[in-house]
Amino acid sequence: MEKRYSPFLITVLGIGIAFLYLPMLVLIGFSFNSSALASVWGGFSTQWYAELLHNQQILKAAALSLEVAALASTGALILGTLAAIALVRFTRFRGRLLLTGMVNAPLVMPEIITGITQLLLFVSMLQLVGWPSRGMTTIVLSHVAFCTAYVTITVQSRLATADRSLEEAAMDLGASPLQAFVDVTLPIISPALISSWLLSFTLSLDDLVISSFVSGPRSSTLPMVIYSKVKLGVSPDINALASLIICAVGICVLAAGYLVRRGERQRLADAQLAAR
Amino acid sequence: MGERASHGDEDGVASRERGFSLGRLMERHGRWLVILPPLVFLLVFFLIPFAFALKISFAEAALRIPPFSDVWQITADHHLKLTPSLRNYAYLLNDEVYAVSYLYSLKTAFFSTLICLLIGYPMAYAMARASKATQGILMLVIILPFWTSFLLRVYALEGIIRDNGLLNAALLWLGVIDHPLKIMRTTFAVYLGIVYSYLPFMVLPLFATLEKLDVTLLEAASDLGSRPWRAFIDVTLPLSMPGVIAGSMLVFIPAIGEYVIPALLGGPDNLMIGRVLWDEFFANHDWPVAAAVSIAFLVLLAGPIAVHQYYRVRQLEH
């Protein structure tokens, strides 16, 4: 596009970004407020962070959420990568349209519907085959389902632009198709794999609605605990916890963004080298 | 001895052939090792749940575990006996809370999408005009809230708009108002919450299409005497329609089913369908009615979801 700076556009962009960030920055600021009254600044203090360390309910929920997120994002990475390979490399197969639909639909399906239908599946399965009972297992399964969609979309777009001639060259030199894929293409798409794992991890860590439906009575994830507290109003220890999570997610996203950009730069450099 | 040797030879040939055919089998059907795991998993844990929801929407609430009656039974003489109940669907049609909350959700989602578009379009346009290096940074700036917890962002917004929040404190201090404004638990707060949460979903697809826009077309328009504003209406806007539609669908569809925002920021009047569904499930424990509401909701969403899928598939093919 033409590079002309319009004051109107710059202003809207600036206000838009301020609108997106101001509430989060204020929240982080107030997490260091020593006063328990949310509206009064009582001086700098880290006491709410210290209190988090003694809150067994929050620690237990955080441990569960991290475990679920690690399992779900790893499962989704495997399934999503396979789905992306299938959709990009195998142009014709029975069920292709079905698979395309099933990896795209979760992106726009209201979470509340996904949550209810999955819960109904789990209770029906428990009745029919005696597995899975509601708890960590069901949370992980439902998270894998929606994270797989995000992994597929990310890896699919990266794989579609990957140069296939390199793989063909490897096969001409005697590599099997699997070997050629693992040794040549997998390293090329690895930034996309890492970033989609990180993004699945944060999505799983954040999920409230689906987890609320499919979890059992003794398995509350961190967002469920936060929601039950937040419903009652603003509380200083949740400010501290929220700040920690926002910073952790921020670091994950920046890391993922950095990896993708480094991958792009590497690709450009390789292309230039190859062209020489 | 000779027989044995020839036997051994035959075995060797057979096993080599078996090995060979196994290799061929892998080659011919190996792709199914790639296709089947995600296909089966999503079938079982994403698609089949809708079939169960459909079945249970024809059941009746019952005091048992799980809390609904059977839709079919196998009788003593091995006949399948269907006992579907249309009670839930009749209930949906008779109790106006469902129709009212659905229409209210549609209205809220529509106007929130429109506001997101009005704010998001200039933002995406400004991003598309920035230099490549700035674009990379701006992308990250927009993506960061996109991945930050919805719940926490809504909570953070609450900290600003509470009666004793930062906004009221600032306005009081400036002397613009002398009583704190009531923003929390109003319709305005719900709109603010949805726009705040979903704005990045609008900006990113818009930016993706505007970035690829061919500048020469705009130059041609201006060479032919078109004013910038007219060139925008005649050239830029029509060409950016795929982004407008993609962004609008990404905001509109999830916003209809939104639960957290109306529950945390809205008042009792802001009865959106997601909230009704949640209460039906967790407060009333009527699973069959909740299943019926989900199915009816899904049928009504089929149109917008099909539009979204159509544009996504078309975008991927280009």
Q: CB–CB of B210 and A103 under 8 A? A: no
Residue B78 within a domain: no
Amino acid at A140: V
Q: CB–CB of B126 and A246 under 8 A? A: no
Cβ contact A31:A239 at 8 Å: yes
Q: What is the CATH number of the domain that holds B100?
A: 1.10.3720.10
CA distances from B35 to A89, A151, A186, A190, B32 (A): 11, 15, 17, 20, 5
User: What residues in A contact B120, CB-CB < 8 Å?
Assistant: 16
By DSSP bridging, strand B72-74 and strand B80-82 are: antiparallel
| Cα–Cα distance measured from residue A61 to residue A256, given in angstroms and rounded to the nearest whole number | 25
Residue B171 within a domain: yes
Closest partner CB to A234 (pick from B119, B122, B158): B158
| Cα–Cα distance measured from residue A161 to residue A145, given in angstroms and rounded to the nearest whole number | 25
Place of tokens 């328009």: B221
Among candidate residues A75, A68, A98, the one with its CA nearest the CA of residue A86: A98
| Cα–Cα distance measured from residue A173 to residue A162, given in angstroms and rounded to the nearest whole number | 19
- The one-character DSSP state at B102 is H
Closest partner CB to B42 (pick from A145, A226, A242): A145
Q: CB–CB of B149 and A238 under 8 A? A: no
Q: CB–CB of A253 and B301 under 8 A? A: no
| Cα–Cα distance measured from residue B246 to residue B116, given in angstroms and rounded to the nearest whole number | 13
List the beta bridge partners of residue B61.
B68
Residue B184 within a domain: yes
How far does B13 lie from chain A, in Å, by closest CA? 24
Full residue range of the structural domain in which residue B131 is found = 95-285
Tokens of B145: 């809230």
Closest partner CB to B150 (pick from A93, A100, A206): A206
| Cα–Cα distance measured from residue B204 to residue A127, given in angstroms and rounded to the nearest whole number | 44
Tokens of B276: 């009704």
Q: How many domains does chain B have?
A: 1
Cβ contact B211:B142 at 8 Å: no
Q: What pLDDT is attached to residue A130?
A: 87
| Cα–Cα distance measured from residue B245 to residue A9, given in angstroms and rounded to the nearest whole number | 21
Place of tokens 């109306």: B262
Query: Nearest 5°: phi and psi at B68?
Result: -155, 160
Query: Nearest 5°: phi and psi at B72?
Result: -135, 155
Long-range contacts of A52-57 (CB under 8 A, 24+ apart): A52/A237, A52/A240, A52/A241, A52/A244, A55/A237, A57/A225
| Cα–Cα distance measured from residue B205 to residue B248, given in angstroms and rounded to the nearest whole number | 9
Q: Which of A31-45, A75-89, B28-42, B222-236 has the highest mean pLDDT?
A: A75-89
3-state secondary structure of B285: coil
| Position B38 pLDDT exceeds 90 | yes
Residue B134 within a domain: yes
| Cα–Cα distance measured from residue A134 to residue A119, given in angstroms and rounded to the nearest whole number | 9
Neighbouring C-beta atoms of residue A249, cutoff 10 Å: 23
| Cα–Cα distance measured from residue A255 to residue A259, given in angstroms and rounded to the nearest whole number | 6
| Cα–Cα distance measured from residue B17 to residue B169, given in angstroms and rounded to the nearest whole number | 83
Tokens of A259: 């990896």
A265 at the B interface (CB within 8 A)? no
Q: CB–CB of B147 and A116 under 8 A? A: no
How far does A53 lie from chain B, in Å, by closest CA? 20
Query: Nearest 5°: phi and psi at B61?
Result: -65, 140
Residue B262 within a domain: yes
Q: What pLDDT is attached to residue A270?
A: 76
The dihedral formed by the CA atoms of B135, B138, B143 and B144, expressed in degrees to the nearest 10 = 150
How far does B301 lie from chain A, in Å, by closest CA? 9
pTM: 0.87
Q: Where are the beta strands (DSSP E) in chain B?
A: 72-74, 80-82
Closest partner CB to B308 (pick from A103, A108, A118): A108
Residue B246 within a domain: yes
Among candidate residues A23, A5, A164, A143, the one with its CA nearest the CA of residue A77: A143
A38 at the B interface (CB within 8 A)? yes
Among candidate residues A139, A145, A144, the one with its CA nearest the CA of residue A212: A139
Give the model's confidence band at B9: pLDDT under 50 very low, under 70 low, under 90 confident, else very high.
Answer: very low
Place of tokens 């970033």: A195
A50 at the B interface (CB within 8 A)? no
Q: CB–CB of A21 and B47 under 8 A? A: no
Among candidate residues B95, B111, B112, the one with its CA nearest the CA of residue B296: B95
Beta-carbon pairs below 8 A across chains A and B: 269
A6 at the B interface (CB within 8 A)? yes
Residue B315 within a domain: no
pLDDT tens string for chain A (276 positions)?
Answer: 445 568 888 999 999 999 999 999 999 998 898 887 766 778 888 888 998 889 999 999 999 999 999 999 999 999 999 999 999 988 788 889 899 989 988 888 889 999 999 999 999 999 889 888 899 999 999 999 999 999 999 899 889 888 888 888 888 898 888 888 888 889 888 888 988 998 899 889 989 999 999 998 888 999 999 999 988 877 788 899 999 988 988 887 788 778 777 777 777 787 787 776
Cβ contact B265:B189 at 8 Å: yes
Residue B61 within a domain: no
Place of tokens 């930034």: A191
Kindly list the structural domains of chain A, giving each domain's residue range(s) and its CATH number in brackets, ordered by start: 55-275 (1.10.3720.10)
Place of tokens 């080298």: A273
**B139-197 residue pLDDT tens:** 889 988 888 888 999 999 998 898 888 888 888 888 888 888 889 899 999 999 999 99
A232 at the B interface (CB within 8 A)? no
B23 at the A interface (CB within 8 A)? no
Cβ contact B315:B246 at 8 Å: yes
How far does B6 lie from chain A, in Å, by closest CA? 34
Query: Nearest 5°: phi and psi at B74?
Result: -95, 120
Q: CB–CB of A238 and B155 under 8 A? A: yes
Give the model's confidence band at B22: pLDDT under 50 very low, under 70 low, under 90 confident, else very high.
Answer: low
Q: What pLDDT is attached to residue A119?
A: 94
Tokens of B124: 């995406």
User: What residues in A contact B312, CB-CB < 8 Å?
Assistant: 104
